[in-house]
Amino acid sequence: MAGWSTQNHDLWVPLPESQNSQSSDMFAPMETLAKLDIFILHFFNIGLANPVLDAVMEVLSNRNVWLAVAATSIAFAALTKNRNALYACFAIAVSVTLSDWVCYEWLKPLFGRIRPCYDTSLALRAVVDGCGSQLGFPSNHAANGMSAALVGWVLLGRRWGLVMMAAVLFVGLSRIYLGLHFPSDVAGGFLFSLLFSVLGLVAARLIARFAAQVFRQWTYFRSEK
């Protein structure tokens, strides 16, 4: 079937079959990736459907659970007076805040991709109530979590970094299983986390240096009185 192209705003003319064929070949890889995206989504959301997994994935995807984990980690670091752990918690907080803001306010509107749970033609299972905001790429859960894990790897060492990455991978799978994100949304979040982790580390270092300088000046002026 011949494709169509606009030569001006008022006239529509058919594309030659050869040009239409070239255009189809150009988009063939994208179509293959889109089909793979949907296949993986259906595999997790429908193929692995299980009441136990429903409950587990809902917990893994719950932000309040991870906020509680973060608060517990900060409290433990403070009680043990572990400066390295406290600084790591601070750097992770900076990285995650940056990641969450940029993904939600800038990247999602830029890409404008609708979450799969809003597309009734995909016939997904509704495991949880609600679907969140309409836009889904990149996944904030994936970007925030992997940013934290990468910062943890740098500041806390490989062992803790691997533990955090494993947890984030399960969170990413939970977003797909619940039908809240396409696999590519999660993969995109992981990819962007590389940028946010670096920016978070740099920002945390600058903030820490500035705070230390202010504290030194304050103690100096106080001692002069």
178-213 residue pLDDT tens: 999 999 999 999 999 999 999 999 999 998 888 878
**Residue 56 located in a structural domain:** yes
Mean pLDDT of 18-31: 61
Q: Residues 163, 213: contact at Cβ < 8 Å?
A: no
CA 123 from centroid of its chain's CA atoms:
24
Strand, helix or coil for residue 148: helix
| Torsion-angle region of 104 (φ positive above 0: left; ψ -120 to 50: alpha; else: beta) | alpha
Q: Is 223 within the bounds of a domain?
A: no
How crowded is the C-beta side of 130, counted as CA atoms within 13 Å? 4
d(CA 125, CA 59): 17
Total-model pTM: 0.83
Residue 85 placed within a domain: yes
Angle at 123 between CA 118 and CA 128, to 5 degrees: 60
Mean pLDDT, rounded, of the chain: 86
The answer to whether residue 29 sits within a structural domain is no
pLDDT of residue 79: 87
Range(s) of the domain holding residue 176:
45-209
How many CB atoms lie under 10 A from the CB of residue 193? 27
DSSP 3-state of 52: helix
DSSP 166-197: HHHHHHHHHHHHTTSS-HHHHHHHHHHHHHHH
The answer to whether residue 153 sits within a structural domain is yes
Based on the structure, what is the number of domains in the chain? 1
The answer to whether residue 6 is domain-embedded is no
Give the model's pLDDT for residue 57.
97
Q: Is residue 24 domain-resident?
A: no
| 34 within a domain of the structure (yes/no) | no
Q: What is the pLDDT of residue 38?
A: 96
